[in-house]
Amino acid sequence: MTELLPLMSYCLVMSATPGPNNVMLAATGANFGGRGALPAILGIQAGMFAQTMLMCAGLGSVFVAYPLAQQVLRVAGSLYLVYLAWKLSGAAVGGAQAPKAVSFAQAATFQALNPKSWVKAITVASVFMPAGHNPFAGALLVAAVGTLVGMPCNAMWALFGVSIRRLLTDPRKQRVFNLTMGATLVVLAVMFLR
């Protein structure tokens, strides 16, 4: 257990701090409640689990061999964050074009473009992958720890959104909230481009 503590601490910091997933979960919780956010929470964890397994299996060596691939991914991820911000902040609250809750598949797929998810998966695979063990078992272990630590952190952000939901019953307040969450995503996109 003491050998897992650094991995657990890293996963806690990466999962609990603000990032694209957590902003998306707070907005989803605020707009759609806890049930509406559950598919996104599960999708994020499934996507992160698969991403970590792939990195542990050697996908990270592609980024070492082709640094341009990592840059392209960073730019694509940042552009996608700007697109999500535009969708979130441009949605007509309560109208026919009101935003829809993020689905399991959308949240899982989003991990492929989420720069923070890539940083986490690359670090877990390169720093915390147990040496001298069966590679599949080691990958399974670090991916499972990431999921066990990440799930409650993601739920916390969704519950934050749920907790402020009653404050957003006025469409104008909900619009301001969605604009704020959209602006946060744009700031994160700019930070990832640095």
* pLDDT, tens digit, 9 for 90 and up, residues 168-190: 888 888 888 888 988 998 998 88
Please say whether the beta carbons of 145 and 8 come within 8 A: yes
Please say whether the beta carbons of 124 and 13 come within 8 A: no
Please say whether the beta carbons of 140 and 49 come within 8 A: no
Alpha helix (H) residue ranges in the chain: 5-16, 20-54, 60-65, 67-89, 104-110, 115-123, 135-163, 171-193
Residue 111 has pLDDT above 60, yes or no: yes
Helices 171-193 and 20-54 meet at what angle, rounded to 10?
40
The first and second tokens of residue 103, run together, are 């689905």
Please say whether the beta carbons of 56 and 129 come within 8 A: yes
Average pLDDT, the chain: 87
**pLDDT at 91 (0 to 100):** 54
pLDDT > 70: percent of the chain: 93
Residue 82 has pLDDT above 60, yes or no: yes
| DSSP, res 165 | G
| DSSP, res 26 | H
Interval 117-137: pLDDT, tens: 998 998 898 889 887 778 899
Cα distances (angstroms) measured from residue 57 to each of 61, 111, 134, 187? 9, 17, 11, 32
| DSSP, res 112 | T
Nearest Cα neighbor of 56 from 67, 46, 68, 48 is 48
Nearest Cα neighbor of 165 from 177, 149, 183 is 177
Q: What is the pTM of this model?
A: 0.85
Interval 138-164: pLDDT, tens: 999 999 999 999 999 999 999 999 999
**pLDDT at 92 (0 to 100):** 45
Interval 5-14: pLDDT, tens: 999 999 999 9
- The pLDDT confidence band at residue 34, using thresholds 50, 70 and 90, is very high
- The pLDDT confidence band at residue 94, using thresholds 50, 70 and 90, is very low
The C-alpha atoms of residue 48 and residue 152 are separated, in whole angstroms, by 14
